[in-house]
Each structure stands twice: as C-alpha cells, then as structure tokens.
C-alpha cells in the first residue's frame, strides 16, 4: 500500500512505466532510488531536457522516510534546511515542527511529487537486480526483479546511505516464539501496550524508539554496548505565519548553508577550549546547549575534535548536564560514565526530547552488553551471559542499524565494464573519485555516498551539491559530444589518500561505528567521510571539471 493515498488514475501505470517482459525502454539517464537524491536528480535532469527514469524498490517516494516508520522516527536536521532548494516546492509547503517526523516527511514527499509531476517518470516496486555496461553501444542496461528493463547513456545511483539493514546472526533466533521487528521494517499499527519489550542497540534509532515505547510498554529493557551522547533537540511547533515571513530569506539561508561546512550556516568559535576562562567557557557552553539541535557541536571551540584534553572538557560538561536528568545512580553510571567510552563527537550524537526522563522510569532497565552479552535467543526471550536465568520478552526490537554507505550499492547486481560486481571491486576497501565516480564504471555517478562529507552533513545540502556537479557534468559532456567519462585509478587513490591524511589529524579514527563500517562483522573498517566540509568539497569537485582532471573522457569532439 502506498504511504500517501493517491487516486487509481495516478497509480494506474505504477510498475508498468517501463516495458515488462524484459523489453527495454530507452532513456538518457536512469536513476536508481526515489528519495531526496533521486528526486533532486530527476527534477534537474528533466529541466535540462533529458529523458530520465527512476526505478524504486519501494511503493512510493521518500527513500529512508518511506521505510523508517518506527515509533519516534524523525529527522535531526532542522527546518527550514531539511528540504530541497526548489522554490515552487518550498513556497507551497509548511512544516509543523522544527524537526519533522516521518509522517510529515512523507506528506512533504507527496507534495514534491504533486508539485513537480514526478510520478510519471518512476517505476515503483521495482528492485534493480542488474546494471551492466554495454561498451559497444556506450550505455547502461538495467533490469529489475519485476521484469522491467531500461537502457541509458548515464546511470545515477541514488540508492541511499542507510538503506540496507543490518541484522546480527543471533544464535537461536529461529526458536524465539515472540515478535521481532527491525527498526527499518516496523509495522505502523504495532502496539506494545502491556508488553515486555527488549530494544537491542543504543544508537540514534534506539534513542527514538526507547523514547516512545517506554511510554507504552509494561516493561522495557535496552541492551547496549556503549551509550550515545544525546543532545537536547529543542523541538517546537513551527507556525504557518513565521514560515510565510521567513520564505523571503530562504534563498540566502540555503546559499549560506551550501557555503558552510555541514549545511547549517553556523560559525565555530575561533578559539581553543583552553583559551578562555572556565567561567566564560561554562557560560558559552550553556548558551549553545540551550539553543538545541546540533548547535552544541557546530558552534563549539575549534580544537574539540583535535585535542583529547579539549574533548574531555566538552564531555565532562555533557556528562554533568545528562546526570542532572538521570535520577538513578546506576543508570547514570551507564549512560554518562565517569570516563568517556569514546571521544565526544566521533560518532553520531542523537537528538532527544525526553529520552533521559523515560530512562528514569522504574519500568525501564538498561543492560550493559559488555558485562552481559547476548548468548542466544530462547523460545521466550534472551539468555544473557553472566545471568543464570533467561529473560522473557514479548517483543524484541532490533535497533541494530544498517550496512551503511555501501550496502545499497552492493546488492543490486552493479557490475563494472569488465563484468566485476561492485562488491568485489570494493572487497579490499572503498575506492571512489570525489565520492561520486568509480574507476571501471563509465558514465555512472553516485549521490549521498561514501568518501564525501555525507555523514557529517545536512542531507539535502550535500546531495544538492553532488547533484549540481553530476548534472553539470552530464550537460558539459553532451555539449562536447563525449561518449563517456570515467575516473582513473590514480585519481581514486589520490582522493582516498587525501581524505585519510585529513582525518589523521583528528580524533575520529579512534572510534568505530557505522561511520567507518565497523558495525558490520567482516566489513573492512575504514574512513568513508571527507571531513573538509561541504564548501571545500564542492570547490574541489568543481575544479576537476576544468580539463577533466582525474578523468578519462572518450569521444570528445575537437
């Protein structure tokens, strides 16, 4: 069932926009994915006069917001920045909150669809199972599991950063007679009223789920390896009137976001933590803490991510604020330990509203998986190490995350010009050029990707920066009569080396998380984030277009 009701006429062609039975349709560009990235590329490329088509595995627009419907799911980028910079869309849509939830974001997607007339160029319920390069014809051949096929000169991979869910291989899980839900596949009508619930994981998704289910469950147990460093969301209603008045400033705000490090036009203090008195520092930290959202991170001192001593000062302030909220000393010791389990800001810092208040409830308990690891599922619950008796649970929630960055790309049959699957190309580590092109994959572009500022950026801002580069590149290649563009292996190596040299100077390498792929057993843990900021990233990317530095371009007319 579609996430937003549409008329039968609107969906009468759903799944048949491309010709079935494997007979391919011809396009200029095929886009895989109909989330923010796919929509942005479709809109821009159609505006450039190209015939484009999207294949989307879901039954409606939204990407991550189509799939994520678990309790409490909402974005942690604030309005007005978490939307596409398309005037005809933002001038006619109003958000109700500073941080919209998943339902409102699907309403937004439906509005984008209706305003831009997108649906006519999309096949939903169409999971891509093959994407191969035809060197003779100079085009990509794409097929889907439901029998569709398309050909195009260019391929845009907009399949998402956090799409392919990760489910640990727990012993005995098939014996469990209760209900198991992964956060990515949550049935919206599910109630846990009167139930005993276990939530495995303590990352951003778990924070949102625990925050809501603790209000309803009879008992809730969160099982975690390490706590998240949550920041105050500062949620509030956003009125129609104030948005109406603010819209005149949107172009300036969006431009400032694009010219910033992370997509929000804030300014970091150009001082070290140690350069100010304790009194001045405490007053300033209170100010940015009270601002809510990511302000506490973005407006902090300039050496927090570089200097362990400075980082400890910030952690200790955070610890003090959280312990003021947690009334149980044992829970406080687990959620805000005396010594930081990892450097502050080196993994995702979720936003919370009443998370710590919910943890205070007597009906909520916390298990340290380092001391009591999950040994196996039982028919009625979980057996934990160091405990003599199993624990009974009616519902187990897997907030275990995703095969981030690469998972969505390595499960679609995407093969190089030499017939090698991308999962094998990247078996020894991810290689890209600019986080958008891959050697051996001509005329293929990626959006919202590894080796770009993705994990440290406001989503719409970085994907629009990449979309502009991709679409301008396609436009320039077509104007030059080029047949194909491909990154060189040398350019990939240089890009990766440069990224790694940047991050060596920071505290990021000392923490494993989904940011470096370490959350998935067997996956190579490596730096997958360009930390130089969106502004510098975009300048570097644009500079390569002059003379096509780092590329092999075939068939350019003299």
158 neighbors 38 (Cβ within 8 angstroms): yes
| Domains by residue range for the chain, with CATH | 8-164+404-554 (3.50.50.60), 173-239+262-398 (no CATH)
pLDDT value at residue 3? 30
pTM: 0.94
Using CA atoms, how far apart are residues 86 and 117, in angstroms rounded to an integer? 13
The three-class DSSP label of residue 402 is strand
Using CA atoms, how far apart are residues 16 and 146, in angstroms rounded to an integer? 10
Q: Furthest-apart CA pair in the chain: how many Å?
A: 78
pLDDT value at residue 7? 32
329 token code pair:
């000393």
Non-local (6+) Cβ contacts of 254 within 8 A are 81, 85, 461
> Directed axis angle between helix 102-116 and helix 36-47, to 10°?
10
Non-local (6+) Cβ contacts of 273 within 8 A are 281, 301, 303, 304, 307, 309, 310, 313, 314
How does DSSP classify residue 228? -
Using CA atoms, how far apart are residues 465 and 394, in angstroms rounded to an integer? 46
How does DSSP classify residue 525? P
Q: What are phi and psi of 97, to 5 degrees?
A: -140, 160
How does DSSP classify residue 170? -
Non-local (6+) Cβ contacts of 558 within 8 A are none
Pick the closest to residue 34 from 197, 159, 198 (CA basis).
159
Residue where the block lists tokens 């907009």:
158
Using CA atoms, how far apart are residues 128 and 147, in angstroms rounded to an integer? 10
Beta-bridge partner residues of 437: 433
97 neighbors 235 (Cβ within 8 angstroms): yes
Please provide the DSSP assignment of 244-256 as one string. Answer: HHHGGGHHHHHHH
181: left (phi over 0), alpha (psi -120 to 50) or beta: beta
Using CA atoms, how far apart are residues 170 and 320, in angstroms rounded to an integer? 36
194 token code pair:
């009167």
Using CA atoms, how far apart are residues 153 and 8, in angstroms rounded to an integer? 33
pLDDT value at residue 188? 84
For residue 538, is the peptide bond before it cis, meaning its omega torsion is within 30 degrees of 0? no
pLDDT value at residue 17? 53
Pick the closest to residue 55 from 107, 139, 130, 110 (CA basis).
130
Using CA atoms, how far apart are residues 376 and 175, in angstroms rounded to an integer? 10
**Chunked mean pLDDT (size 10), the chain, 558 residues:** 30 44 88 98 98 97 95 96 98 97 98 98 98 97 98 96 84 96 90 97 96 98 98 96 95 97 93 98 98 97 98 98 96 98 97 97 98 97 97 97 86 97 95 98 96 96 98 97 98 97 96 88 91 97 97 83
Using CA atoms, how far apart are residues 359 and 199, in angstroms rounded to an integer? 13
404 token code pair:
């981030």
Using CA atoms, how far apart are residues 517 and 352, in angstroms rounded to an integer? 24
pLDDT value at residue 403? 80
CA angle 289, 275, 314 (to 5 degrees): 35
Using CA atoms, how far apart are residues 32 and 142, in angstroms rounded to an integer? 10
């Amino acid at each position: 069932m579609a996430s937003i009701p549409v008329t039968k006429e609107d969906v009468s062609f759903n799944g048949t926009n491309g010709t079935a039975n494997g007979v391919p349709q011809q396009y200029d560009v095929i886009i895989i994915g109909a989330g923010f990235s796919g929509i942005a590329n479709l809109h821009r490329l159609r505006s450039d006069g190209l015939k484009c088509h999207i294949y989307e595995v879901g039954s409606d627009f939204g990407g991550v917001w189509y799939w994520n419907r678990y309790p409490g799911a909402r974005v942690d980028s604030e309005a007005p920045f978490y939307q596409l910079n398309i005037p005809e869309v933002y001038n006619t849509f109003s958000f109700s909150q500073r941080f919209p939830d998943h339902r409102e974001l699907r309403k937004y997607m439906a509005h984008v669809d209706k305003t831009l007339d997108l649906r006519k160029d999309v096949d939903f319920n169409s999971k891509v199972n093959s994407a191969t390069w035809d060197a003779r014809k100079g085009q990509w051949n794409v097929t889907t599991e439901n029998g569709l096929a398309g050909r195009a000169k260019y391929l845009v991979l907009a399949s998402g950063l956090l799409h392919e869910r990760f489910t640990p291989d727990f012993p005995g899980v098939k014996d469990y007679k209760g209900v198991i839900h992964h956060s990515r596949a949550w049935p919206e009508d599910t109630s846990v009223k009167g139930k005993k619930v276990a939530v495995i994981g303590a990352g951003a998704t778990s924070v949102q789920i625990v925050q809501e289910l603790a209000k309803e469950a009879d008992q809730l147990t969160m099982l975690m390896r390490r706590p998240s460093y949550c920041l105050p969301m500062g949620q509030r209603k956003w009125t129609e009137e104030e948005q109406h008045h603010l819209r005149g400033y949107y172009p300036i705000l969006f431009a400032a976001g694009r010219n910033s490090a992370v997509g929000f036009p804030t300014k970091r203090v150009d001082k070290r933590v140690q350069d100010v008195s304790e009194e001045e520092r405490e007053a300033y930290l209170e100010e940015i803490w009270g601002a809510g959202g990511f302000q506490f991170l973005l407006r902090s001192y300039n050496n927090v991510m570089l200097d362990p001593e400075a980082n400890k000062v910030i952690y200790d302030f955070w610890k003090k604020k959280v312990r003021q909220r947690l009334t149980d000393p044992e829970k406080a010791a687990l959620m805000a330990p005396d010594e930081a389990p990892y450097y502050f800001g080196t993994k995702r810092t979720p936003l919370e509203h009443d998370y710590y208040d919910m943890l205070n409830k007597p009906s909520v308990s916390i298990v340290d998986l380092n001391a009591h690891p999950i040994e196996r599922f039982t028919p009625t619950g979980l057996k934990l190490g160091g405990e003599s008796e199993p624990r009974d649970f009616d519902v187990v929630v897997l907030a275990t995350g995703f095969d981030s960055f690469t998972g969505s790309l390595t499960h679609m049959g995407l093969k190089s010009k030499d017939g090698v699957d991308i999962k094998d190309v990247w078996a020894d580590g991810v290689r890209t050029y600019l986080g958008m092109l891959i050697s051996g994959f001509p005329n293929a572009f990626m959006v919202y990707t590894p080796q770009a500022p993705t994990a440290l950026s406001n989503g719409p801002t970085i994907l629009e920066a990449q979309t502009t580069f991709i679409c301008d590149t396609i436009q320039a290649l077509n104007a030059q009569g080029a047949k194909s563009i491909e990154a060189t292996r040398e350019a990939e190596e240089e890009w990766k080396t440069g990224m790694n040299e940047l991050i060596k100077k920071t505290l990021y390498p000392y923490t494993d998380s989904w940011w470096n792929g370490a959350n998935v057993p067997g996956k190579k843990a490596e730096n997958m984030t360009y930390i130089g900021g969106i502004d510098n990233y975009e300048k570097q990317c644009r500079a390569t277009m002059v003379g096509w530095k780092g590329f092999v371009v075939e068939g350019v007319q003299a």
